[in-house]
Amino acid sequence: MTASETVRNESEKAEPVVSVIVPVRNEEASLAICLESLVAQTGIAFEIIVVDDHSTDRTREIADSFANAHPHLVHVIEAGPLPAGWTGKNNAIVNGVREARGEWLLFTDADTVHRPHSLMWAFAEAKRNEADLLSYSPGQIAVTFWEKAVLPVVFAELAREYPPSKVSDPGSPVAAANGQYILIQRKAYEAVGGHAAIADEILEDVALARAVKRAGFEIRFRYADDAARTRMYRNFRQLREGWTKNLALLFPNPGWLAVKTLLWWILPWSALLLVLGHVAGHRWWNALFIATILYNTTRLRRANFDWTMEFLGAAFGMPMFAYLLLRSKHAHAKGNVSWKGRTYPDRKREAQQNSEKGSAQTERLKISTGY
């Protein structure tokens, strides 16, 4: 046995400082590489708790293989029955926390790949910045055409809506976190009620961050390709379903944002069509086309992608982003949001409707009784 293997075996047996909780549901395509990157972490005592949320593929088999290879480090548990009104991820995380022994909790997704030593560095960063919650936005891996076109637009708009500098500023009300990587001190997590307090929230990461910030705890949030990378969706169907679930919740006015995005996208192509159709003089319309294409591409710089993907975003991703915004708005308005084989109603919409029904019934009662 080498010296490094001896150190690793000893660290696996040590009382964990961090409990890494990985909720999984049908993640056979990505779980193995995620767990490989997690078990290889060094420099800090930790444990890994994989919570299987009723997977129907090879997810449980893969998780068990790591538990058998690292019995002191990796533990696999069942999520248990899904309580009424809960999302599957929130239920899985709560069950994982129940088994966790660490003073800090790391919530991470099965589609993440963690850089060597990143757990140790993240813990040190949180302590150095006196952050109760540290969240990373991992580097995004894009393979297919629509991944390359859509992701720059989405993440550029997210950076505008949730600037990391404001999220990390205690004086700003803006709060956010990326559920792919949330490291939180256990006492802060328990103080705000954890995921049980946001059990019905589809956008659980932002909801948790808002609760943490409202309670007066410190948040640090940044882009962190140096810590982790992820491939969120592996085909167009997954991409469409995933962003339909999230976009209307991430942006306060999705309809207006869709219109604005479409207008910015239409402008350069309209100018080009006028030039090609000889409807207008070339010089000024050529200049307008070039200027607006460059502007749209430059607007995507904050998304942390290369120029090729930013150009694809400006050329093709913007109308698709507008479509996904409107699709998400419609799905949430209908109270019919699907994800991984489950359909979640819009609880806030249901509550509002019930409130309106209650008010109407009260009015009818007043009229019928003469009060």
Residue 287: the pLDDT is 75
**Quick one: which of 355, 349, 317 has its CA closest to 336?**
349
Give dist(CA 210, CA 201) in Å, integer: 12
pLDDT averages per 10-residue partition of the chain, 371 residues: 51 83 97 98 98 97 98 97 95 98 98 98 98 98 96 96 97 97 98 97 97 98 97 94 96 96 89 66 69 84 91 94 97 89 70 47 45 42
How do the domains of the chain map onto residue ranges? 18-138+178-234, 237-352
- Cα angle 177, 162, 20; round to 5: 10
Give dist(CA 258, CA 324) in Å, integer: 9
Residue 355: the pLDDT is 47
Residue 286: the pLDDT is 72
Residue 347: the pLDDT is 56
219-223 and 133-137 beta bridge pairing = parallel
Residue 219: the pLDDT is 98
Residue 2: the pLDDT is 52
What does pTM read for this prediction? 0.88
Give dist(CA 44, CA 119) in Å, integer: 8
Residue 295: the pLDDT is 82
Task: Give the right CATH number for 18-138+178-234 from 3.90.550.10, 3.60.60.10, 3.30.465.10, 3.20.20.10.
Answer: 3.90.550.10
Residue 33: the pLDDT is 98
- Runs of H (alpha helix) within 117-232: 118-128, 145-161, 164-167, 186-191, 204-214
- Cα angle 206, 117, 21; round to 5: 40
